[in-house]
Amino acid sequence: MSQVHPCRRTTRPGSHCTCGSFTKAAGAWGEFERTHDLTDITSADFLSKVGKKTKVLARLSTVAGEKGASDTVRDIRGFALKLFTDEGNHDIVGNDLPVFFIRDPVKFPSLNRSHKRHPQTNVADSSMFWDHHNNNQEGIHCLMQLFGPRGIPASLCNIGFFGVEPDGAFKYVKIHFKPDAGVTTLDDKEAARLAGEEPDYHVKDLYNAIESWIPRKPRLTASTSSMRPRYGAIGSSKHSDYPLVPVGKLTLNKNPDNYFQDVEQAAFSPSTLVPGIGPSADILLQARMFSYPDAARYRVGPNYQQLPPNRAKYVYSPYQRDGPATINGNYVSKFTSEVEEADFEQSRELWKIYLKAGTDQVFIDNVSGHLKKAIPEVQKKTIKMFARVDEDTSNRIEKKLSEQDAGPDHVKAPNDAAGSSPAFLHLFYTLARTYPFLNMILNRIEVDRMVSLKWHH
């Protein structure tokens, strides 16, 4: 990382993982079995031999909800997988949606806070949510995925996950985990009912699926899609250009003996890698490699890698020792983005898929049902954003909103929401990425967001 400011913003308490994201989770032990040859693109040991099995720990979570929150809310699901290989631990950290909201890591704190409780009212706030996305429209494709038919999974046994793993053969590799039993989802009405009657619905379902004598254990097929590095490769690409190649099978077959010990104390990071697999130049991935271990040290302690869910099979570490909670000797495990038309291309294709599948009205209902709680000026900007996807989409959302009875979450935006940050800060922030002396100034001030509404102060 050549810039200090993004590191400071993503590795301090209150940023990304340490702000309470991914708090509500289920977890299970299992195994990964390699079923197909991958030696043409990687030398990683756990992928070196067909039939080779590797012990794994999986953690599946919502993102915005706190511990005790309802499972069946419309939210991205986080997926973290730790493989205990003969060469050390290897972590895959991804989501259930194939795309994400941002590509600049400096936006992580603002993104996470906009999806959580408002700092003044201490309740979820639709105006804060949509205001963030109105001003960071590179996430439109992820928004459409979230508010589409797959926004609320019916079961953790029927959910797919995605991660990015560049390998040592200089190919970018995206890993897909798809449930063998297929993907199933909930509509808003059923999800709302379960949120009230069974807030721990997904956690219970996963536990019972593993314990049941009826064969229900989650089983997923792992596949990869790969590309040769090229300029602009980490961006918009057609899925059809990169077909999936099967890799192996992931099976979750054992519940934790003690939830706190095995799941709550588990720590995952995209920087936990084995030989044969390395990180790409994607700045979002690079920032996560800093922030995830920092969050683990803050949340669990400096020696978190000694704990059972994080301890590697074989350890040699003469340079790491002492510190609080040492239990096993010396141990270590062997700016505001410019939005372009290209950012809306995949969203337009997804809208066409919704139209063809007949799920377009579900999407309209989901967005308008959430957006109706935002203040009017935020609604207008959101409608304008969706117009860049398709005029018909924005017109239908606007029409649906006019038919809604409910008003915004709050009569007026808390903390002088109409106030605006000085326009010169947008330019200042952009220039700071080029001129180091400006970046030094930014290191001395806290500018959480450069947008029209002051939600995070």
Residue range 371-386, pLDDT digits in tens: 999 988 899 999 999 9
Gap between the Cα atoms of 277 and 166, Å rounded: 6
Please give the pLDDT value at position 438. 54
Gap between the Cα atoms of 347 and 396, Å rounded: 16
Whole-angstrom CA distances from 190 to 73, 150, 447 are 10, 14, 40
Torsion over CA: 190, 193, 196, 199 (sign) = negative
What's the alpha-carbon Rg for the chain, to the nearest Å?
22
For 256-415, where are the alpha helices, taking DSSP H only? 259, 283-299, 345-357, 360-371, 376-387, 391-402
Predicted structure pTM score: 0.73
The residue extents of the domains of the chain are 1-97+152-334, 99-149+340-415
Gap between the Cα atoms of 105 and 288, Å rounded: 8
C-beta of residue 131 within 8 angstroms of C-beta of residue 172: no
Please give the pLDDT value at position 321. 65
C-beta of residue 421 within 8 angstroms of C-beta of residue 450: yes
Task: Decide: residue 212, CB within 10 A, 0-12 exposed, 13-18 middle, 19+ buried.
Answer: exposed
Domain covering 99-149+340-415 assigned CATH 3.40.50.2300 in the classification: no
Spacing of C-alpha 280 from chain mean position: 18
Gap between the Cα atoms of 198 and 283, Å rounded: 39
Torsion over CA: 260, 64, 233, 150 (sign) = positive
- Reported residue count of the chain is 457
Q: Is 207 annotated as a binding residue?
A: no
Cβ neighbours around 123 below 10 Å, total: 9
Look-up of token digits 């606007």: 398
Gap between the Cα atoms of 97 and 225, Å rounded: 15
Please give the pLDDT value at position 210. 93
For 98-219, where are the alpha helices, taking DSSP H only? 108-114, 126-134, 140-146, 188-197, 201-211
Per-residue tens of pLDDT for the chain, all 457 residues = 344 444 445 554 444 443 456 778 889 999 999 998 888 788 888 988 899 999 999 999 888 888 888 888 898 888 899 999 998 899 999 888 888 888 887 888 888 888 888 888 888 889 999 999 999 998 999 999 999 988 898 888 888 887 755 444 467 788 888 998 899 999 999 999 999 999 999 999 999 999 988 767 888 888 887 766 554 444 455 666 778 888 899 999 999 999 999 999 999 998 888 888 888 777 888 888 888 889 898 889 888 888 889 988 876 555 566 777 777 654 444 445 678 899 999 999 999 999 999 999 999 999 999 999 998 889 999 999 999 999 999 999 999 999 887 777 776 665 543 334 444 444 554 555 455 555 555 444 433 333 333 333 3
Gap between the Cα atoms of 5 and 3, Å rounded: 6
Which amino acid makes up residue 252? L
Please give the pLDDT value at position 198. 92
Gap between the Cα atoms of 288 and 269, Å rounded: 8
In CATH, the number for domain 1-97+152-334 is: 2.40.180.10
